[in-house]
Chain A
Amino acid sequence: MSMVTSFRPRTRRNVELVLLLLAITIVLVAYLNVGLAIGGQFPPDLILYGFGLLVLSVGFHLVLRWRASYADPLMLPIATLLNGLGLVMIHRLDLAYDRTGSRLLAPKQLIWSTLAVLLAAGVIIVLRDHRQLRRFTFTAMALGLGMLLLPLVPGLGRNINGSRIWIGIGPLSFQPGEVAKILLVIFFAGYLVQTRDALSLVGSRFLGIGLPRAKDLGPILLAWLASVGVLVFEKDLGSSLMFFGVFVAMLYVATERRSWIAIGMLLFCAGSYIAYLSFGHVQTRVLLWLHPFSEEAIATSDQLVRGLMGMAKGGLLGSGLGRGHPEITYFPESDFIFPSFGEEIGLIGLFALLMLYVLLVERGLRTALGVRDGFGKLLAVGLSFSMALQCFVVVGGVTRVIPLTGLTMPFLSYGGSSLLANWSLVALLLRISDQARRPLPDAEELATASEAHTQVVRIQ
């Protein structure tokens, strides 16, 4: 005979450890492949790097065992694998460019990865409950908008490659938009969880679509207008698309009204058409997107075409790490790391990478389903959707699905700010998933609690 029991969550920490070891093995095999293909010999620092990677990721794993034992077991291995593969590709491009000394990018990326993992571990240790973040709803908004505005401050902002999204202090440069992404998601979550009843119930109906009161919608529209306006002035279209998409997605999740998606799409189409008419750089992007092989497009930029050629050269199986020529494209280690991978590990490899992102986002959305409080749900949806949309913007851009806009591929691309932001994002998701998967207290415990007198507790 058999019986049906309700699903009892397991911590699955051992599964995480096994997958982590597998991820590190894959990274080391990739590194070995690069070393053999370019240098023709066994890379001598393989054991050193392997050991470093092992200490770092197993350290994080132990932090999870200590402070968030029910956290999702799959996010850490996936993030580790993606980060490691990105490192291998950047190292491979260092070799291709014959970079030496301080111009080497891979060691820098390694340092940033270490810092990012430490920061993520810090987030797990310090933040015991994600609901604490709700207290900082409006602080997050102020900080997020401030971060977005920082590159516009004269003397601090830097105009790199036509976009004013960097700040520089001495030799260090930083992209504050990545951090602003997380802060604004925290703000959206905190704000929407307060006002979602008002947003979804109160208001007049117009053409079968419920329109909310301006009072409820005012602050959030203001935040959105500010972020999009800032990004148009900074000429960073990718981020603007991402912020708007996350905003619409969270609004939909908070209110369960499909009309938001329609309104959002309409707003977005109108906005992009106006942007197309009024900004020269948008017209260039559209030309490069629709007719990349035309003469005038090639005269402007052949970056996209080179990326496409690289991916075509890679074919199904790829040329093998170290055997292609991703260095021919511009920015092969940041914006165009995806075509670099496409050339060297082929379509089969690229789809494995995409699957990893899909699985990471799925875990985030699953966490949102499982967690019991509204703020956590919205936060998890916002964070995972922002990552999904960022991947879509990058991959869609380099494969000519949408106009190419400059964003970094989470974990893979070169860039300290991107790594710091994405590892903290995963740390937040891990923290929420710990709450989501932790079993409820026993029935007996609940029964005794329900017999006790109701206590009135002031929240906030």
Chain B
Amino acid sequence: MSELTLTVIRLGLLALLWIFVFSVVGVLRGDLYGTRVLSRVKPKPPGRPARPAVAASTVTEPVVPKMSRSASKRIPNTLTVTEGSLAGTTLTLMETGVLLGRNPECTLVLNDDFASGRHARIFRRDGGWVVEDLGSTNGTYMGITRLTQPTPVEVGSTLRIGKTIFELRK
């Protein structure tokens, strides 16, 4: 038997061993997280109007211009929880808007005693993201100012709901 074949089998064995180890690690990765985020939205059938995401909203739904895929990629659309019990969670902002609060139907269900059931929502307007307080008890803060009207969210600005702090990231 040629030396080459032997070398290939020998190194292949080591590679296979480590492939086994990594596939085991890949399987048990699922153990590390208690919850997982499932996508709930289904692709809309063409021709039907977009359903407003937030039924209780007092602000009329802004007309979202249909953007091309490349354009929507340029806008930062990741909301990260930097502090609070959900720290480390990231959420992708959708064009239909996301709802934050303690109510189980919210997009991001906050586990925060100071948050209201339907606390705030973030939606798309004029090519950027806007946050609006939905009449919450303890208020939504941008930096240190309490929000009284829909306010644009910039990259890096901190958003606080109760003890949970959010940040918009790219």
Residues of chain A at the chain B interface (Cβ within 8 Å): 1-7, 12, 15, 19, 22-23, 25-26, 29-30, 32-33, 36-37, 40-41, 73-74, 77-78, 81, 317-318, 320-321, 323, 345-346, 348-349, 352-353, 355-356, 359, 362-363, 366
Q: Are B9 and A356 in contact (CB under 8 A)?
A: no
Given A1-B40, A36-B6, A26:B13 Cβ within 8 A: yes
Given A4-B108, A77-B24, A359-B25, A352:B17 Cβ within 8 A: yes
Cβ contacts B85-109/A at 8 Å (1 or 0 each): 0000001101010100000000111
Q: Whole-angstrom distance between the alpha carbons of A366 and B12 in the complex?
A: 31
Whole-angstrom distance between the Cβ of A35 and the nearest chain B Cβ: 9
Given A23-B20, A359-B28, A36:B1 Cβ within 8 A: yes
Q: List 29 A-B contacts (CB under 8 A).
A: A1-B39, A1-B40, A1-B41, A1-B53, A1-B96, A1-B98, A2-B40, A2-B92, A3-B38, A3-B109, A4-B36, A7-B35, A7-B36, A19-B27, A22-B19, A36-B1, A74-B24, A74-B27, A320-B6, A321-B13, A323-B6, A346-B14, A348-B14, A349-B13, A352-B17, A356-B20, A359-B21, A359-B24, A366-B28
Whole-angstrom distance between the Cβ of A432 and the nearest chain B Cβ: 16
Given A36-B1, A362-B28, A345:B107 Cβ within 8 A: no
Q: A3-B109, A4-B38, A356-B24 are in contact. List 12 more A-B contacts (CB 8 A).
A: A1-B94, A3-B107, A4-B108, A19-B24, A33-B9, A36-B1, A73-B27, A77-B20, A320-B10, A321-B13, A346-B14, A349-B17
Q: Are A22 and B23 in contact (CB under 8 A)?
A: yes
Q: Whole-angstrom distance between the alpha carbons of A11 and B92 in the complex?
A: 30
Q: Whole-angstrom distance between the alpha carbons of A321 and B41 in the complex?
A: 54
Given A2-B40, A7-B34, A29:B12 Cβ within 8 A: yes
Q: Whole-angstrom distance between the alpha carbons of A323 and B38 in the complex?
A: 52
Whole-angstrom distance between the Cβ of A28 and the nearest chain B Cβ: 10
Question: Does B71 touch A at the CB level, under 8 Å?
Answer: no
Q: Whole-angstrom distance between the alpha carbons of A262 and B1 in the complex?
A: 58
Chain B residues whose CB sits within 8 angstroms of the CB of A25 once the complex forms: 16
Q: Are A321 and B98 in contact (CB under 8 A)?
A: no
Q: Which 9 pairs, one residue from A and one from B, show the smallest C-beta to C-beta distance? A: A320-B10, A352-B17, A355-B21, A33-B9, A1-B41, A26-B16, A2-B37, A1-B40, A36-B1
Residues of chain B at the chain A interface (Cβ within 8 Å): 1, 5-7, 9-14, 16-21, 23-25, 27-28, 30-31, 33-41, 53, 91-92, 94, 96, 98, 107-109
Chain B residues whose CB sits within 8 angstroms of the CB of A37 once the complex forms: 1, 6
Q: Whole-angstrom distance between the alpha carbons of A348 and B19 in the complex?
A: 12
Chain A residues whose CB sits within 8 angstroms of the CB of B91 once the complex forms: 2
Q: Are B6 and A2 in contact (CB under 8 A)?
A: no
Chain B residues whose CB sits within 8 angstroms of the CB of A7 once the complex forms: 30, 33-36
Q: Are B40 and A22 in contact (CB under 8 A)?
A: no
Q: Whole-angstrom distance between the alpha carbons of A4 and B107 in the complex?
A: 8
Chain B residues whose CB sits within 8 angstroms of the CB of A33 once the complex forms: 6, 9-10, 13
Q: Whole-angstrom distance between the alpha carbons of A349 and B16 in the complex?
A: 10
Interface centre among A1, A33, A323, A355 (most CB of B within 10 A): A1
Chain B residues whose CB sits within 8 angstroms of the CB of A353 once the complex forms: 17
Chain B residues whose CB sits within 8 angstroms of the CB of A41 once the complex forms: 1
Whole-angstrom distance between the Cβ of B5 and the nearest chain A Cβ: 7
Whole-angstrom distance between the Cβ of A31 and the nearest chain B Cβ: 10
Q: Whole-angstrom distance between the alpha carbons of A25 and B23 in the complex?
A: 14
Whole-angstrom distance between the Cβ of A434 and the nearest chain B Cβ: 16
Q: Are B35 and A30 in contact (CB under 8 A)?
A: no
Q: Are B39 and A2 in contact (CB under 8 A)?
A: yes
- A363 CB contact (under 8 Å) in B28, B35, B37, B109: B28
Q: Are B1 and A40 in contact (CB under 8 A)?
A: yes
Q: Are B35 and A6 in contact (CB under 8 A)?
A: yes
Which residue from chain B places its CB closest to the CB of A73 in the assembled complex?
B27
Chain B residues whose CB sits within 8 angstroms of the CB of A22 once the complex forms: 16, 19-20, 23
- A4 CB contact (under 8 Å) in B16, B20, B35, B41: B35
Whole-angstrom distance between the Cβ of B21 and the nearest chain A Cβ: 5
Q: Whole-angstrom distance between the alpha carbons of A352 and B25 in the complex?
A: 12
